[in-house]
Structure 1
Amino acid sequence: MKNIKSIASKLYTTRIGFFLLAVILFWFKTYAMYKTKFSLGEKGLVQELLLFFNPLAFTLFIFAFALFAKGKKSYIILLILDFVLSTWLFSNIVYYREFSDFITVSIMKSFSSVSNNMGSSAFALMKPTDLLAYADVVVLVVLLAFKKIKLDKKPVKKRVTLSILALAVLIFTVNLSTAEADRPQLLSRTFDRNYIIKYLGLNVYVVYDGIKTEQTNLVKAKADSNDLNSVLDYVKSNQTSKNVEYYGKAQGKNVFVIHLESFQQFLIDYKVDGQEVTPTLNKFYHDSNTVSFDNFFHQVAQGKTSDAETMLETSLFGLPQGSAMVTAGTDNTFQAAPALLNQKGYTTAAFHGDVGTFWNRNNAYKSWGYDYFFDSSYYPSNESYELNYGLKDKIFLKESAQYIEQLPQPFYAKLITVTNHYPYPLDSQNASFPKTTTGDSTVDGYVQTAHYLDQAINEFLTYLKQTGLYDNSVIMMYGDHYGISSNHSDAIKQLLNKNDFTKYDDAMFQKVPFMIHAPGIKGGVNHTYGGEIDVLPTLLSLLGVDHSNNIFIGSDLLSEDHKQIVSFRNGDFVAKDFTKVGSKIFNTSTGEEILELTTEQQATIKAETKYVQIQLDTSDQVINGDLLRFYTLPDFKTVNKSDYSYVKSKAIKKLKSTKKGTSLLEKLGKSTVDEYKTDAPELNDTSDSSSSSTSTSANN
């Protein structure tokens, strides 16, 4: 025993010994984090062993480079490498807790476009135990600081270091071969990121993702007009007929697109202690002139809100990694809703009470053809007015009225609310609804901010009715993505009064509201299965805008030919009869898992799976290859981004000088701003300064 202890003591006082200690500590720590911080779905002995061993090869390989340095410098380099990799692990732990996903290279590239307001959300996501991601770094530093490990200045022979690198490569090769045997075509096909991390490790994954990202960039460089052939084949084969009951029924009407942040379908008609969470939206949902869809799903990936906007404006999916608005929004060619409607005589405007650079909106909106983008620079600035990602909804919607009344009609106006955003905080003066009592601090505030949003919508709709805009507009509302992730399953079960929360339940939990209200149309709850990719064709059909030549991935939800298959970015889907989640198949109506498929069912699932993959691949081809630059759409003029400026002084001047006699302000001959009533305590407390700010902005 003494001999073993003596050998161990001599070993870790050498550079090689310190190196091995660092490798073992990092390896075991990473495995512990895999098991406690992520849900990777490992099953069986092979997957368990791969999960345990996969951190080893990369750790050996990277840490070995410290051995090329001499003396003290070698120790410092190793600690720096350990710290960097630990920070990467820590960041993914925090990110995964909210998004059930891992950070990609695209997300890292786009961080500057979304980081301005992420501080509070990121902090709220952290748990004290997350800091254990740095445990091995602390142990090594302490051992060195207290000289429990003495610095070994003897150089390590290069052949030893090269042997370690070779060993790392060998271990990785065995790891990869075993993974491929258990999961064929692991790297050649698109799998959930969980698979790659489960089999090969978090650090190998980021290298793989970086390579895939670079390959995507090369696709655009190599793309040409011939690549459109398969895209046009898809569009032609998925044409839908017009629904004569709805087609063109809202022609010439204004369009309001109201973005309900993080708003899920279960909130419609949901009550807490007998009190409706969203009475205004419930009434709007069931209005006789509102078509509401109760089987409508968000289809976002990592881009979250930006993915939802991309689908609604272009009928193209977001990308499997990162945000299409960030990676392609500045340079790609689009044939998006704002430009399509602008060339039909519409004024187009987007409203958002946050900085214009968030999700690269200031550039993407130009590519889409928005005449105006009213970002935070157009709104009064006051610390009490803001919460998380911009102006509180009541203030935002009220302050938007001054610009809405100046827009020449017909107009297309998108308003993005933000108060119902994770982590769902709300100050006491605005909190007028009780929290739920699941014990999950994230979930329990959700109904409170949703109720606040509902109150803000009520004030906005009241204004539209008083000014006559309500009866001359299509009002479309949608939830952009989930508000509560599946990581909060225990709380979700309490909210839904369920004993279990299966993969099927999670798929159904991705439903979000989609409502279209227009005067004179036949309303009701429509049970058609669809998603955000289908919104633009549906809206254009209502407006009587022919889109048979457009390259749209989705289709009109009101058409009898609409395929009721909702594709998710990871290849899963929900269809009228079957729901596919990973390798599991469920009966969509009952939620029961189908363990043995009939021959007919197998054929249906195979066909639907193929359709989903073609749909996703076709969309990716269009965006990654920037293929719309090669496509001439009849009667459409390609957007020239240099024609647009969202600088406040220029936009206000443009609004003032555009005299068509059709704006609400021109028609009434007076401002309607004072007709907008809100109980926002921040404005009521400072009514003089607020009204002064509004009046000045409206007349400059």
Structure 2
Amino acid sequence: MDKINTFIRTYIDLILYITLMLIKVIIYGSEMRAEYFSYTSLFSPVLASLLFLAAISVILNRKKRIGFLYICNLLITLFIIGDLTYFRYFKDVISIPILISGLQLGAVKSSVASLFKFTDLIYAADFIFILPLVNRYKYKNGLDVRKSLSFSLFLVFFVIGLSINVKAFYSLSKEQPRLLSTMYNKVYIVRKLGILNYHFLDFYNSMYSSINRRIPVSKTKEAEIKTFLQNNSTNTYNLSGAAQGKNLIMIQVEALQDFTINSKINGQEITPNLNKWATRSVYFNNMYYQIAAGGTSDAEFMTNNSLYPAPSGSAYFLYSSNEFNSMPKNFKASGYNTAAFHGYRETFWNRNVIYKQFGFNNYYNENDYNIDDNVGLGLSDKSFFNQSIDKLKSLNSPYYAFLITLSSHFPYDDPSKYGDFNVGAYEGSLLGDYLKAIHYTDVQLGMFLDKLDSEGILKDSVVVLYGDHYAITRNHEKELSQFLNKTSPMSDIEWAKLQKIPMMIHFPDESIKGVNSINAGQMDIYPTICNLFNLPSKNLMGKDLFNSEQKNVVFRDGSFTDGNYYYLSQTDTFYDMSTNKKVEENEDLKNKKENAINQLEYSDAILKHNLLKKFESSSD
């Protein structure tokens, strides 16, 4: 008994470390996706990952071991708090590429502050007592550990950890092939393998990807990608060249979700101007956003390139030196002037660098606007649109002008500036603040569009308007369910079907208008513009919405919908969209699932290996 007590005192730090870390990591796992959480399935891989670190610690001397375990505890705690904060808005977990571009978060302090919860500090509560407790027992009757015992413990911990992890990794790779290499669904990996295994895997894949970028893609894979791009081109006959020679004014509206269109609260229309604009345009009411961790920048990237965003981090940072077959470059080659407009910092999302790569002649940013009125993060949409009119008038026609709004940016925390819009029972809630913010932006859009008309710009311009991404995250689902008169909690498929943005294309004479319900995504905007303006449409991954049959809309996490069925990669489940019922995978759905993953891999290869530069040069 004395030897056991002495052994416990000698390894009290290790015992505490494994116990506390198990508790922390398993509770963290339950917070990530509580509705799918299983203690029994997560316990083994979490324990295995902790045993790897424990194995390292036992070959160190006592002083170094306690320091090593303390640092491990600190790092794991920081990752837990960071992951949870990030997950609350992005519904994803932090990765190395995200950390590389993470300095951008520092510029949006209010957004970060609104996501952090002080209850997260409970994960760090053990730091208050762990050091005094360990110091109290560590050196009392401590066992002088022989090297042979240390090595034996190392082997035991390492072999047990390895055995459990091999089984867990193998099971996941069989369940979702290519998930471990592509990491297209990081939350699912965390759910199945735990936070430590996920971050170990993320580190490995990030290092491998960095090395792999220097290795040329195989000729076979290159030919496969090239064939896909060639076959993906749509035969254009409907509305081909309908806008040729006209200006294109494209407006990306911050956090504009489709559920606000034609909706009312307390008898008031939330977006009265956009509702009217939809009746004067072709209104695509079945368009999904397809962004990943890059948020707004991902939406810009897709609509201007028809390539998928990076699986982690932002393509605006990771691939800023690539060659792109972008929309502004395409317009520029056709004799158009090209300009981007955003009343925020020029360096935010690396826009000052990437816009040059895209082919924009001018980038009007915070330095080019009089910051005379702030709403939310920066220059108000009202002032932005008013000042942008004069800049548009200074452009030589024909031109492509790309405008990005700002005032309706999360966390919608400037209600005093949004005007008097009564949200009733939702006053003070996130949903209520969002409805005020998007109503404010709608008012400014209405005035801007009216001014385009009165200034004579509208008669010579096609206007494309769309939302960039979601506004309401699932942790605020109850408010949204109540507003939409849906049951709460919503099922996964009900929530997925809500993740839509409006897209409207307004033609100068308004002869082309109406509702178009084609299954669509942001990737399809650029190919559609190519058809309308008679631009070359090679090397694009989306489809022309005026000349395509229903096709898959693929999401960055490997989910997809073909309009009839929806595959959710988070749960590896297929749903019938008409009934919201789960369905079994059949051969057709299996092939569509495989095709979705292939498309993501093709796009990733194009970005990682700068293949468009090679494709362009080979076609000259």
The verdict on a shared fold, with TM-score over 0.5 as the criterion, is yes
CA distance in 1, matches of 2:140, 2:314: 47
Match of residue 481, structure 1, among 446, 460, 469:
469
Whether the 8 Å CA contact 1:291–1:523 is kept in 2: the answer is: yes
Aligned in 2, Cα 1:620/1:149: closer, same or farther, shift over 3 Å? Answer: same
Name the aligned partner's letter for residue 29 of structure 2.
Answer: Y
Q: 1:286 to 1:196 in 2, by over 3 A?
A: same
User: 2:411 aligns to what?
Assistant: 423
Relative to structure 1, the CA distance from residue 532 to residue 158 in structure 2 (aligned partners, 3 Å threshold; closer, same or farther) is: farther
User: Which amino acid is the alignment partner of residue 108 of structure 2?
Assistant: M
- The aligned counterpart of 2:460 is 472
**SS of alignment partner, residue 129 of structure 2:** helix
Please list, as runs of the form range in 1=range in 2, the aligned pairs for 1:48-67 lying within 5 A after superposition. 48-62=39-53, 65=56
Q: How does 1:219-618 map to 2 (within 5 A)?
A: 219-223=212-216, 226=219, 227-244=221-238, 246-287=239-280, 290-329=281-320, 331-381=321-371, 385=374, 387-388=376-377, 390-435=378-423, 437=425, 441-500=429-488, 501-520=490-509, 521-547=511-537, 550-559=538-547, 561-582=548-569, 583-588=572-577, 590-595=578-583, 602-618=586-602
Q: Please give the per-residue CA displacement for 1:135-159, whole angstroms capped at 9, x wherever unaligned.
A: 22223135368x5766888765444
- 1:27 paired to 2:22: yes
Report the 3-state secondary structure (helix = DSSP H, G, I; strand = E; otherwise coil) of the residue aligned with 1:512.
strand
**Which residue among 211, 218, 224 is the counterpart of 1:218?**
211
> d(CA) in 2 for partners of 1:326 and 1:562?
34
Confirm whether residue 87 of structure 1 aligns to residue 78 of structure 2. yes
2:116 corresponds in structure 1 to 126
Matched, 1:111 2:102: yes
Change (3 A) 1:485 1:429: closer
Q: Is 1:625 the equivalent of 2:615?
A: no
The one of 173, 178, 188 equivalent to 2:167 is 178
Q: What amino acid does structure 1 have at the position aligned with 2:382?
A: K
CA distance in 1, matches of 2:59, 2:476: 46
| Deviation by residue 1:253-285 (Cα, 9 ceiling, x = unmatched) | 111111111111111011111101111111111
Cα distance, 1:481–1:464 mapped onto 2, change above 3 Å: same
Aligned to 1:192: 185
Tell me how far apart the structure 2 counterparts of residues 439 and 591 of structure 1 sit (CA, whole Å).
34
Answer whether contact 1:472 1:519 (CA < 8 A) is retained. yes
For residues 283 and 630 of structure 1, the distance between their equivalents in structure 2, rounded to whole angstroms, comes to 45
Specify whether residues 175 and 77 from structure 1 end up closer, same or farther in structure 2 by C-alpha distance, changes over 3 A only: closer
Q: Which amino acid aligns with 1:337?
A: M
After superposition, the Cα gap between the structure-2 partners of 1:164 and 1:148, relative to the gap in structure 1 and judged at 3 Å, is: closer
- 2:12 corresponding residue in structure 1: 17
Structure 1 residue 584, shift from structure 2 partner: 2.7
* d(CA) in 2 for partners of 1:152, 1:78: 21
Is the CA contact (8 Å cut-off) linking 1:285 and 1:292 kept in structure 2? yes
Structure 2 unaligned blocks of 5 or more: none
Once residues 549 and 144 of structure 2 are traced to their aligned partners in structure 1, the CA distance between those partners, rounded to angstroms, is 70
Question: CA separation of 1:397/1:149 partners in 2, compared to 1, >3 Å: closer, same or farther?
Answer: farther
**In structure 1, C-alpha distance between the alignment counterparts of 2:423 and 2:19, rounded to whole Å:** 46
Letter of the structure 1 residue corresponding to residue 335 of structure 2: G
Report the alpha carbon displacement of residue 75 of structure 1 after superposing the two structures with TM: 3.4
CA contact (8 A) 2:6 2:141 kept: no
How far the C-alpha of 1:296 sits from its partner, in A, is 0.7
Q: CA 1:124 to 1:7, structure 2 compared with 1: closer, same or farther past 3 Å?
A: farther
Q: Is the 8 Å Cα contact of residues 40 and 194 (structure 1) preserved in structure 2?
A: no
Shift of 1:188: 5.5
* Aligned 8 A contact 1:251 1:544 in 2: yes
Aligned letter for 1:611? N
Tell me the CA shift for residue 634 of structure 1: 9.6
Query: Is the CA contact 2:33–2:191 (under 8 Å) kept in the aligned structure 1?
Result: no
In structure 2, C-alpha distance between the alignment counterparts of 1:334 and 1:225, rounded to whole Å? 21
Displacement of 1:368 in angstroms is 0.8
Give the conservation status (yes or no) of the 8 Å contact 1:68–1:156.
Answer: no
TM-score, structure 1 normalization:
0.81
- Aligned residue for 1:513, secondary structure, equals strand
**Distance change >3 Å, CA 128–CA 142, structure 1 → 2:** farther
Q: Secondary structure at the match of 2:501?
A: coil
Structure 1 SS opposite 2:561: strand
Q: Compared with structure 1, are the counterparts of its residues 219 and 21 closer, same or farther at alpha carbon in structure 2 (3 Å cutoff)?
A: closer
Q: C-alpha distance in 1, partners of 2:152/2:251?
A: 61
Deviations 1:623-654 (A, max 9, x none): 12210121227998xxxxxxxxxxxxxxxxxx
Partner of 1:38: 32
Matched residues, percent identical?
Answer: 29
- Which range moved further: 464-473 or 563-572? 563-572
- Stretch moving more, 168-177 or 121-130: 168-177
TM superposition shift of 1:242: 1.5
* Contact 2:266/2:423 (8 A) holds in 1: no
* Cα distance in structure 1, aligned partners of 2:425 and 2:138: 51
Shift of 1:67: 5.3
* AA matched with 2:319: A
CA distance, structure 1, for counterparts of residue 140 and residue 407 of structure 2:
54
Instruction: Give the TM-score normalised by structure 2.
Output: 0.91
Partner SS for 1:437: helix
Aligned-partner Cα distance in 2 for 1:21–1:373: 56
Partners in 2 of 1:466 and 1:346 — Cα distance? 23
| Residue matched to 1:667 | none
Contact 1:223 1:627 in 2 (8 A): no
2:65 & 2:165 partners in 1: Cα distance? 30
Pick one of 141, 152, 155 that aligns with 1:166. Answer: 155
Amino acid at match of 1:183: L
Q: What's the secondary structure of 1:630's corresponding residue? A: helix
Asked if the contact 1:72–1:153 (Cα under 8 Å) also holds between the matched residues in 2, the reply is no
Contact kept? 1:297, 1:532, Cα under 8 Å: yes
Cα distance in 2 for residues equivalent to 1:160 and 1:578 = 58
Contact kept? 1:256, 1:475, Cα under 8 Å: yes
State the shift of 1:198 in Å.
2.3
Counterpart amino acid of residue 626 in structure 1: N
Q: CA deviation at 1:54?
A: 2.6
8 Å CA contact 2:48–2:165 kept in 1: the answer is no
CA contact (8 A) 2:54 2:157 kept: no
Q: Kindly state the Cα deviation for residue 414 of structure 1 after the two structures are TM-superposed.
A: 0.9
Give the direction of change, closer, same or farther, for the CA distance of 1:327–1:436 in structure 2 (3 Å limit). farther
